[in-house]
Amino acid sequence: MRVVIQRVSEAKVDVEGKTTGKINRGILIYSGIEDGDTEKEVEYIAEKIVNLRIFPDENNKMNNSIMELDNSEVLSISQFTLSSYIKKGRRPDFTNAMVPEKAKELYEVFNSKLAEHVKVEKGIFGAMMDIYSVNDGPVTFIIEKKGL
């Protein structure tokens, strides 16, 4: 599993002109689920995200997790292109992406694990989405975990 997380002051996702998820201060998550990923990887990354100290404290140091903030939220977007590899040629290779049916199940597990700690909004799995965000910082991280 590979995720990109961004600290945002606001973000939203639209599908076919309708907003399906919208947050204020929080974390925008793009997640790519790969062949071989299990609930263990999904749980590990969800726990890592909610405990990651990426929000400023009173001294403006990254010392607070999203769980320590009032009214913070997560916007979760499934993005299979994160499972691509671009080693040769000019066309991305998506063979490492998990088949959609299984990936959707793990994506839902991922969101439910996040929701144990913080409010979760999300896009629609497999849909073409328009994502709008205001990156706070900018603060962006990549988290990967394979083979727990």
DSSP string, 20-63: EEEESSEEEEEEE-BTT--HHHHHHHHHHHHH---EE-TTSSEE
- Which CA distances in Å does 131 have to 23, 70, 72? 12, 24, 18
Give residue 84's Cα distance to chain centre. Answer: 16
Choosing from 80, 94, 110, 140, which is the catalytic residue?
80
Q: From the candidates 6, 55, 79, 110, which is the catalytic residue?
A: 79
Q: Find the length of the chain.
A: 148
Q: If we measure between CA atoms, which residue out of 109, 112, 90 comes closest to residue 98?
A: 109
Helices (runs of H) and strands (runs of E) counted in the chain: 2, 8
Q: Is 19 among the catalytic positions?
A: no
79 catalytically annotated? yes
Q: Is 6 annotated as catalytic?
A: no
User: Which of these is catalytic: 38, 81, 94, 140?
Assistant: 81
Catalytically annotated residues: 79-81
